[in-house]
Amino acid sequence: MTIVLEARDLSKTYGEVQAVDRVTLAVEEGALFGLLGPNGSGKTTIIKMLTGQTRPTGGTATVLGVDVTSDPVGVRGRVGIIPEQETPPSFLTAMEYLRFVAAVRKIPDIETKADWWFDFLDFADKKNVLCKDLSRGTRQKLMFTQAFIHEPALALIDEPLINFDPIMQDVVKDYLAAYVKKGKTIFISTHILEVAEEICSGFAILHKGNLLHTGPVADLTGRGEHLPSFFLSLVRKDRHA
Amino acid sequence: MLELFHAMMKEEWRVHSTMFGSLSFALFPVMIFGIAFMGSFLVPLMQTTLPAGNLTVIIHASYLMLGIMVGGFGLLGNEVMNRRFGQASLLAYSARSLPLSEQFIFSNFVVKDTVYYFILWVFPFGFGYIVASPFTGVPLASALLLLLTLALAFLFGLCAVFFLSTIYARSKPALWLFLLALVAGWGGLAVLTGMNPALFFPPLLLNASFTWANLLASCAILAVLFGVAIALFSPESVGSEKNYRNSFTPLMQRLSFLPDPPLATKDTLDLYRSGSLVGQTIFSFLLPLAVIWFFLSLLGPYFPPHGLLFIFAITTGVIASTMYTWVTMFDTFGPYACLPVAVSRLITGKLTTFAVLQLLPALFIAVVALLSGEGAYLLPAVVLGLSVSFYAVAVMAWLAGLSPNVLVYDVKVLAIYLVLVGIVLTVFTAVAFANPYYVLASVLLLVPAWWFVQKAKVRWDAVDPAGF
């Protein structure tokens, strides 16, 4: 299988704080890979480094064959990204924001594609409303749309289900599962372990910036273990180490 | 009240000190003090050509303008504050989680900002003058009075614009009516007394002859302006869900001649829909310049022929360069972080929108040249104003990237900016005084401007985008 995302000794320090410490991992094409960890474990920092939003202070990483340090814009051009916090620009409507994304990414036929997404995520009635007036859930739908509207080979999502109601969570989980079946790859970070066990094919556990474990979910379930209990025992052990 | 105010002061300190270090921020007022202290020694020299009273007018006008430029609190609805501060979670939004009204939090925010500006700008300047007074022969009482009247000039600018911007946010026709009445009042005063209305500016009257009655009257006017503004302020309503027709595509087609139409279109819609284009034009451009014109016109007899027009063109250029903050204040890098957009491309985009906005100062200088009967010098005045503006903005983009409003308080940034821009202003003021047509050479400033922009792009691409 082709490796689409690879990090070697990836590190990030903020002043004296070691946010990520020599993390090495690889993600194969067609995987739905989950980066798991408690709050403050470095998940968001890793996603930011892998998408060229922040520079590593050590190590290397390539995404779809592009080096994240030397060509961060090239990386962002090839992937889809949903950041944890960012919201769409306040004074554009939802539809105008997608037109803006299409103009920047040079996506053809944006009207048809956008309409499909408005219907699919059930927010067509909000397409002409300014982004600042949208609810958190609708903003998340819009951010989800901008990340997938160009059908990237790899999407990196920080907390994919945050702000979605249970019905929409179900729709999104199904979409992600179907997306990887088409041969595309998804890299998510989450601390909701049940979701990770349900939808991920591979995973990595991060604690205090250190990688504790990485491997296929099937290996765990094959030996009768569950991801939440495995995660908790590993993190607790590391906490007391 | 005090707890919230104290926490906001601490918060403001941390916003700045985490951006560029506590020392750099703490040194900012020290630098203003140093400038005032050393500048005080030039006063005796300047008095040989300019009477002391007129020098006082210039300094008061500067502080009035500072107050005017920072006083547009009425324009700060929730959304603008959110964009101004990015993803930071600030006490200004506490109404959502604490049992405090928006009005209460906002008045604390305004008072906090006022105190901060006072500590950063007003007090250090006055204090520098006071400390220098034993060496310059200026009586201590005069120096203390100057500190008081400068503080009042600053507060008059701030409260007046706070008041006007709040009216603007409530009702635009009401603002126009109010401004018309104000202009008519000023005009009437000028006709009746035969004097420039700027001479009736309360801090100047107080500086010329101190009386407790005048001081109380000034304070009462300030209290009324501030109180009415706070009472009228209404936070922007959230969740109005008004539907807008698609303006993006047609506007982008119209702007297709620009280097980066999508970014220019987004900036234009941001400016227009936030109400900022008209609001900033009135409160951060037209109003300060109108006031400056009144004050500068008092100094006309001390300038060479046509000197006033060119001094005004230079001032307009410097103020026009701050239009860069209009297009950066709504945007953190955040919304672009998930798109293939480099910081350098964003800087280019913002500067392109800035260049389009320069039509305003060009028109403004042209109108002033024509109205003042100096149409013959229209072209050199416009060229000088625009050249200064492009040069100053290029220096600012190099020094502060996409965060000019924040990084200006880094003492190193401000010092370099003042030196690089100050030299140019001094040289071209001298050139304009020598021969008005020589200032056409100011177009050469576009060369270093272009160089600074290229340096800015390389510099800010090499660091993580600012976000706090």
Contacts of A90 in chain B (CB under 8 A): 79, 82-83, 270, 274, 330
Arithmetic mean of pLDDT, B402-421: 87
**How many independent structural domains does chain A possess?**
1
The confidence score (pLDDT) of residue B76 equals 52
CB nearest B239 (choices: A89, A128, A133): A133
Q: Average pLDDT for residues B46-60, to the nearest whole number?
A: 74
Cβ–Cβ of B341/A147 closer than 8 Å? no
Please state, in angstroms and rounded to a whole number, the distance separating the CA atoms of residues B420 and B423.
Answer: 6
B113 and B16 belong to one structural domain = yes
Highest mean pLDDT pick, A117-131, B36-50, B291-305, B315-329: A117-131
Residue B302 scores a pLDDT above 80: no
Buried b (16+ CB within 10 A) or exposed e, A147-180: bbbbebebbbbbbbbbbbeeebbeebbeebeebb
State whether the Cα torsion B98-B102-B108-B114 is positive or negative.
positive
CB contact under 8 A, B338 and A82: yes
- Paired with A210 in beta bridges are A207
Average pLDDT over residues A103-111: 95
Q: Is residue B318 part of a domain?
A: yes
Cβ-Cβ contacts under 8 Å, A133 against chain B: 238-242
In a domain, B246, yes or no: no
Contacts of B108 (CB under 8 A, 6+ apart): B1, B4, B5, B8
- Cβ atoms A135, A87 nearer than 8 A: no
* Residue A87 forms part of a structural domain: no
Say how far apart CA B161 and CA B53 lie, in whole Å. Answer: 26
**Residue A92, amino acid:** L
Same domain membership, residue B387 and residue B419 = yes
Helices (H), B322-377: 323-328, 343-357, 359-371
The structure tokens 């990015």 sit at B86
Q: What's the whole-number average pLDDT of chain B?
A: 83
Residue A212: inside a domain? yes
Which pLDDT score is estimated for B87? 43
- The C-alpha angle with vertex B56 and arms to B51 and B59, in degrees rounded to 5, equals 130
Query: Among B17-26, B55-64, B121-130, where is mean pLDDT lowest?
Result: B17-26
Q: Quote the minimal CA–CA distance from B267 to chain A in Å.
A: 9
Instruction: Give the DSSP H/E element, type plus range, for residue A190.
Output: strand A185-190
Determine contact: A57 vs chain B, CB below 8 A.
no
Please count the residue pairs, one from chain A and one from chain B, whose beta carbons lie less than 8 angstroms apart.
108
- Confidence class for position A121, pLDDT limits 50, 70, 90: very high
d(CA B268, CA B277): 9
Q: Is B209 exposed, middle or buried (0-12, 13-18, 19+ CB in 10 A)?
A: exposed
Tens digit of each residue's pLDDT (9 = 90 or more) over A138-157: 999 999 999 999 999 999 99
pLDDT above 80 for A214: yes
Place of tokens 């303008």: B65
B227-249 average pLDDT score:
76
Pick from B2, B17, B7: nearest CA to B410: B17
pLDDT value of residue B80 = 46
CA–CA separation, B40 and B132 (whole Å): 6
Segments forming the whole domain that contains residue B272: 257-468
- Tell me whether residues B87 and A85 touch, CB distance under 8 A: yes
Q: What is the residue whose two structure tokens read 């040079």?
A: A106
Q: Which residues pair with A80 in a beta bridge?
A: A155
Of the candidate ranges A34-38, B123-127, B290-294, the one whose mean pLDDT is the lowest: B290-294
Exposure of B405 in the CB half-sphere (CA atoms within 13 A): 18
Give the Cα separation of B416 and B427 in Å (integer).
Answer: 17
Give the closest of A55, A72, A130 to B244, CB-based: A130
Which chain A residues have a beta carbon less than 8 Å from that of B265?
A: 100, 103
B229 and B278, same domain (yes or no): no
- Whether residues B207 and B286 share a domain: the answer is no
Closest C-alpha among B131, B120, B122 to residue B41:
B131
pLDDT digits (tens, 9 = 90+) for B160-185: 888 888 888 788 888 888 888 888 88
CB neighbour class for A32 (10 Å; exposed up to 12, middle 13-18, buried from 19): buried
Q: B121 with B35: CB under 8 angstroms?
A: no
Residue B190 falls within a domain, yes or no?
yes
Out of A111-125, B113-127, B436-450, pick the least confident: B113-127
Two structure tokens written together for B173: 């026709």
CB of A151 less than 8 A from some CB of B: no
How deeply is B404 buried, as exposed, middle or buried, from its count of CB atoms within 10 A (0-12, 13-18, 19+)?
buried
Q: Which of A49-53, B87-91, B240-244, B462-466 has the lowest mean pLDDT?
A: B87-91
pLDDT at B283: 77
Q: Is residue B250 part of a domain?
A: no
Give the bridge partners for A23, in sequence order.
A10
Which ipTM value was assigned to this complex?
0.88
Measured CA to CA, the distance from residue A187 to residue A210 in angstroms comes to: 18
Is the pLDDT at B143 greater than 50, yes or no?
yes
Looking at the structure, tell me whether residues B202 and B262 fall in a common domain: no
pLDDT-based confidence at residue B72 (cuts at 50, 70, 90): low
What's the whole-number mean pLDDT along residues A71-92? Answer: 89
The mean pLDDT value for B411-434 works out to: 92
Nearest to residue A32, comparing CAs of A164, A194, A178?
Answer: A178
Measure Cα distances from B465 to A52, B57, B407 in Å.
10, 42, 13
In a domain, B261, yes or no: yes
Total domains in the fold of chain B = 2
What average pLDDT does the segment B295-314 reach?
A: 82
**Token code pair at residue B154:** 């600053």
Amino acid, res. A149: I
Q: Is the pLDDT score of B353 beyond 50?
A: yes
A74 and B340 within 8 Å at the Cβ level: the answer is yes
Domain of A165: which CATH number?
A: 3.40.50.300
Using DSSP's 3-state secondary structure scheme, residue A156 falls into strand
- Mark out chain B residues that contact chain A at CB-CB < 8 A: 79, 82-83, 87, 238-249, 252, 261-263, 265-266, 269-270, 273-274, 330-331, 334-335, 337-342, 464-465
Per-residue pLDDT of A190-209, as tens digits, reads 888 888 898 999 999 999 99
- Residue B336 is assigned to a structural domain of this protein: yes
Classify residue A100: in a domain, yes or no: no
Of the candidates A98, A103, A5, A19, the one whose C-alpha atom is nearest the C-alpha of residue A52 is A5
B272 and B357 together in one domain: yes
Residue type, B420: L
For B168, the token pair is 């603007």
Is A146 within 8 Å of B338 when comparing Cβ atoms? yes
Assign residue A65 a region: left if phi > 0, alpha if psi is -120 to 50, beta otherwise?
left
Residues B307 and B215 reside in one and the same domain: no
- What's residue B235's pLDDT? 60
Residue A136 counted as domain residue: no
Model pLDDT, residue B83? 47
- Residue A137 forms part of a structural domain: no
Give the position of tokens 């979670």.
B89
pLDDT at B84 over 50: no
Is residue B468 scored above 70 in pLDDT?
no
The stretch B269-282 carries a mean pLDDT of 80
Contact A128 B246 (CB under 8 A): yes
Nearest residue of chain B to residue A158 (CA atoms): B338
Task: Give the nearest partner residue to A76 out of B241, B249, B340, using CB atoms.
Answer: B340
Do B292 and B224 fall into the same domain?
no
Residue A49 lies in a domain: yes
Q: How many CB atoms lie under 10 A from the CB of residue A65? A: 13
Give the C-alpha separation, B199 to B205, whole Å.
7
Query: Per-residue pLDDT averaged across B27-51, rounded?
Result: 79
Helix or strand or coil: residue B263?
helix
Average pLDDT of chain A to the nearest whole number: 92
CA distances from residue B266 to A85, A88, A99, B253 in whole angstroms, order as listed: 21, 12, 10, 13
Residue A32 inside a domain? The answer is yes
Q: Which residues of A touch B335 (CB under 8 A)?
A: 86-89
For residue B300 the two structure tokens come to 């006309």
Please give the residue range of the domain that contains residue A77. 3-81+153-240
Taking the C-alpha atoms of residue A73 and residue A151, their distance in angstroms, rounded to an integer, is 18
If phi > 0 it is left, if psi is from -120 to 50 it is alpha, else beta; for residue A182 that is alpha
C-alpha gyration radius of chain B: 22
**Nearest to A91, CA basis, from B84, B238, B278, B273:** B273
* 3-state class (DSSP) for residue A3: strand
- State whether B199 and B311 are in the same domain: no
Q: Is residue B288 part of a domain?
A: yes
Give the global pTM.
Answer: 0.82
Q: What is the mean pLDDT of residues B436-454?
A: 96
Percent over 70 (pLDDT), chain B: 88
Asked if A70 has any chain B CB less than 8 Å from its own CB, the reply is no
CB A137 within 8 A of CB A163: yes
The backbone torsions φ and ψ at residue A175, rounded to the nearest 5 degrees and listed phi first, read -65, -45
- For A83, counting Cβ atoms within 10 Å of its Cβ (0-12 exposed, 13-18 middle, 19+ buried), the class is buried
Q: How does DSSP assign B22-65, residue by residue?
A: HHHHHHHHHHHHHHHHHHHTTHHHHTTTS-HHHHHHHHHHHHHH
* pLDDT confidence band for B106 (50 / 70 / 90): confident
Task: Taking residues B238-246, report their average pLDDT.
Answer: 73
Residues B268 and B153 both lie in one domain:
no
Comparing CB atoms, the residue among A74, A83, A135 nearest residue B338 is A83
Domain match, B59 and B175 both: yes
Q: Is B1 helix (H, G, I), strand (E, B) or coil?
A: coil
Q: Where are the alpha helices (DSSP H) in A34-150?
A: 43-50, 72-78, 94-105, 110-120, 136-148
Smallest Cβ–Cβ distance between A133 and the set B240, B269, B334 belongs to: B240
CB atoms closer than 10 angstroms to residue B408: 17
Which H helix or E strand runs over A10? strand A3-14
Q: Tell me the C-alpha to C-alpha distance, in Å, between residue A155 and each of A31, A130, A209, B57.
A: 11, 26, 22, 61
